[in-house]
Amino acid sequence: MKTTIIGAGPAGLYFAILAKKANPGDAITVYERNKVDDTFGFGVVFSDQTLDNFEAHDAESYEQITRAFAYWDDIEINFKGSRYRIGGNGFCGCSRRTLLLILYERAKSLGVEFHFQHEIDDIEPLARTSDLVVLADGVNSKFRDHYRAHFQPTIDVRPNKFAWMGSTAELDAFTFAFEETEHGVFIAHAYQYEEGGSTWVFETDNDTFERAGLAGLSEEESARVMERIFQRYLGGHRLLTNRSLWRNFPMIRNARWVKGSIVLLGDAKATAHFSIGAGTKLAMEDAISLHDALTRTRTVDEALASFETGRREEVERTQHSADVSLVFFEHLGRFWDFDPVQFAFGVMTRAKAITYDNLHLRAPEFVAEVDRHFAEDVASQGFPVDTAGPKPPMFQPFRLREMALANRVVVSPMCMYSAKEGVPGDWHLVHYGARAIGGAGLLFTEMTDISAEGRISPGCTGLWNDEQEAAWKRIVDFVHAQSATKICLQIGHAGRKASTQFMWEEDVHPLPEGNWPVISASPLPYLEVSQVPRPITRADMDELVAEFVATTERAVRAGFDMIELHAAHGYLLASFISPLTNHRTDEYGGSLENRLRFPLEVFRRMREAWPAHKPMSVRISATDWADGGLTGDHAVEVATAFAEAGVDLVDVSTGQTVSDARPVFGRMFQTPFSDQIRNEAKVATMCVGNITTADQVNTILAAGRADLVALARPHLMDPNFTLRAAAWYGVDDVACPPQYLAGRDQLLRNTKRDREELEELKRKLKPKSRGDLRDAAERLPHAAE
Ligand X SMILES: Cc1cc2nc3c(=O)[nH]c(=O)nc-3n(C[C@H](O)[C@H](O)[C@H](O)COP(=O)(O)OP(=O)(O)OC[C@H]3O[C@@H](n4cnc5c(N)ncnc54)[C@H](O)[C@@H]3O)c2cc1C
Residues that bind ligand FMN (CB under 6 A): 412-415, 446-447, 490, 503, 566, 619, 653, 688-691, 711-714
648, 694, 688, 647: which is closest to 668 by C-alpha?
688
Residue of the chain from 96, 189, 350, 715 that contacts ligand X (CB under 6 A): 96
Residue 31 binds which one of ligand X, ligand FMN, none, with CB within 5 to 8 A depending on kind?
ligand X
* Contact call for residue 598 and ligand X (CB under 6 A): no
First-to-last C-alpha distance (Å) of the chain: 53
Residues 6+ apart with CB under 8 A from 190: 167, 171, 174, 175, 176, 177, 198, 199, 200, 201, 233
Residue of the chain from 9, 413, 438, 672 that contacts ligand X (CB under 6 A): 9
| Residues 668-707: x where in contact with ligand X by CB under 6 A, - otherwise, as a string | ----------------------------------------
Distance in angstroms (rounded) separating the CA atoms of residues 331 and 155: 20
Residue 619 binds which one of ligand FMN, ligand X, none, with CB within 5 to 8 A depending on kind?
ligand FMN
* Contact call for residue 142 and ligand X (CB under 6 A): yes
Helix (H), strand (E) at residue 602: helix 592-609
Under rule CB under 6 A, which residues in 264-323 are in contact with ligand X?
A: 266-268, 277, 279-280, 283
Under rule CB under 6 A, which residues in 150-209 are in contact with ligand X?
A: 164, 199
Cβ neighbour number for residue 88 with a 10 Å cutoff: 16
Strand 262-264 to 132-135 pairing: parallel
Q: How far is the CB of 135 from ligand X (least distance, A)?
A: 9
Q: How many residues does the chain have?
A: 785
Instruction: Give yes or no for a contact between 172 and 240, defined as CB atoms under 8 angstroms apart.
Output: no
Helix axes of 426-437 and 466-482: crossing angle, nearest 10 degrees: 30
Residue of the chain from 4, 12, 103, 560 that contacts ligand X (CB under 6 A): 12
Residue among 90 and 390 whose Cβ is closer to ligand X: 90
Residue 688 binds which one of ligand X, ligand FMN, none, with CB within 5 to 8 A depending on kind?
ligand FMN
Instruction: Give yes or no for a contact between 105 and 88, defined as CB atoms under 8 angstroms apart.
Output: no
Q: How far is the CB of 455 from ligand FMN (least distance, A)?
A: 11
Residues 6+ apart with CB under 8 A from 757: none
Cβ neighbour number for residue 645 with a 10 Å cutoff: 18
Q: How far is the CB of 96 from ligand X (least distance, A)?
A: 5
Q: What does the CA dihedral 379, 384, 390, 395 come to, rounded to 10 degrees?
A: -90
Residue among 126 and 712 whose Cβ is closer to ligand FMN: 712
Residue of the chain from 65, 120, 573, 710 that contacts ligand X (CB under 6 A): 120
Instruction: Give yes or no for a contact between 77 and 347, defined as CB atoms under 8 angstroms apart.
Output: yes
The CB-nearest residue to ligand FMN is 712
Distance in angstroms (rounded) separating the CA atoms of residues 505 and 501: 6
Q: How far is the CB of 479 from ligand FMN (least distance, A)?
A: 17
Distance in angstroms (rounded) separating the CA atoms of residues 548 and 550: 6
Q: How far is the CB of 344 from ligand X (least distance, A)?
A: 24
* Contact stretch for ligand X (CB under 6 A) within 133-141, 204-212, 252-260, 767-775: 133-141
Residue among 420 and 682 whose Cβ is closer to ligand FMN: 420
If you ran DSSP here, which 8-state letter would residue 681 be given? I
Residue among 98 and 457 whose Cβ is closer to ligand FMN: 457
Q: What does the CA dihedral 52, 55, 58, 62 come to, rounded to 10 degrees?
A: 110
* SS (HEC) of 164-233: EEEECCCCCCEEEEEEECCCCEEEEEEEEEECCEEEEEEEECHHHHHHCCHHHCCHHHHHHHHHHHCHHH
Q: How far is the CB of 669 from ligand X (least distance, A)?
A: 27
Residue 267 binds which one of ligand FMN, ligand X, none, with CB within 5 to 8 A depending on kind?
ligand X
Residue among 33 and 237 whose Cβ is closer to ligand X: 33
Under rule CB under 6 A, which residues in 237-256 are in contact with ligand X?
A: 243
Q: How far is the CB of 370 from ligand FMN (least distance, A)?
A: 24
Residue 191 catalytic? no
Catalytic residue chosen out of the listed positions 193, 526, 571, 588: 571
Residue among 77 and 488 whose Cβ is closer to ligand FMN: 488
Q: How far is the CB of 163 from ligand X (least distance, A)?
A: 8
Q: How far is the CB of 318 from ligand FMN (least distance, A)?
A: 24
Distance in angstroms (rounded) separating the CA atoms of residues 320 and 21: 33
Residue among 97 and 678 whose Cβ is closer to ligand X: 97
Residue among 46 and 432 whose Cβ is closer to ligand FMN: 432
* Contact stretch for ligand X (CB under 6 A) within 135-143, 303-311, 468-476, 516-524: 135-143
Q: Is 274 left (phi over 0), alpha (psi -120 to 50) or beta?
A: alpha
Q: How far is the CB of 142 from ligand X (least distance, A)?
A: 6
457, 466, 412: which is closest to 716 by C-alpha?
412
Residue 439 binds which one of ligand FMN, ligand X, none, with CB within 5 to 8 A depending on kind?
none
Question: Among the residues of 253-404, which ranges form H helices?
Answer: 279-296, 300-330, 340-348, 356-362, 364-380
Distance of CA 372 to the CA centre of its chain: 25
* Contact call for residue 615 and ligand X (CB under 6 A): no
* Contact stretch for ligand X (CB under 6 A) within 8-16, 228-236, 605-613, 621-629: 8-16
Residue 424 binds which one of ligand X, ligand FMN, none, with CB within 5 to 8 A depending on kind?
none
Under rule CB under 6 A, which residues in 531-560 are in contact with ligand X?
A: none
Residue among 329 and 576 whose Cβ is closer to ligand X: 329
Residue among 33 and 108 whose Cβ is closer to ligand X: 33
Distance in angstroms (rounded) separating the CA atoms of residues 299 and 690: 41
Residue 566 binds which one of ligand X, ligand FMN, none, with CB within 5 to 8 A depending on kind?
ligand FMN
If you ran DSSP here, which 8-state letter would residue 236 be given? T
* Contact call for residue 346 and ligand X (CB under 6 A): no
* Contact call for residue 119 and ligand X (CB under 6 A): yes
| Residues 396-425: x where in contact with ligand X by CB under 6 A, - otherwise, as a string | ------------------------------
Under rule CB under 6 A, which residues in 30-49 are in contact with ligand X?
A: 31-34, 40-45
Distance in angstroms (rounded) separating the CA atoms of residues 83 and 670: 31
Which DSSP string do the residues of 508-564 spell out, in sequence order? TSBPSS-----EESSS--SSTTSPPPEEPPHHHHHHHHHHHHHHHHHHHHHT-SEEE
Helix (H), strand (E) at residue 105: helix 96-110
Q: How far is the CB of 174 from ligand X (least distance, A)?
A: 12
Distance in angstroms (rounded) separating the CA atoms of residues 493 and 451: 8
Q: How far is the CB of 13 from ligand X (least distance, A)?
A: 7
Residue 11 binds which one of ligand FMN, ligand X, none, with CB within 5 to 8 A depending on kind?
ligand X
Q: Which residues are catalytic?
A: 571
Question: Interface with ligand X by CB under 6 A: which residues?
Answer: 6-12, 31-34, 40-45, 96, 119-120, 136-139, 142, 164, 199, 243, 266-268, 277, 279-280, 283
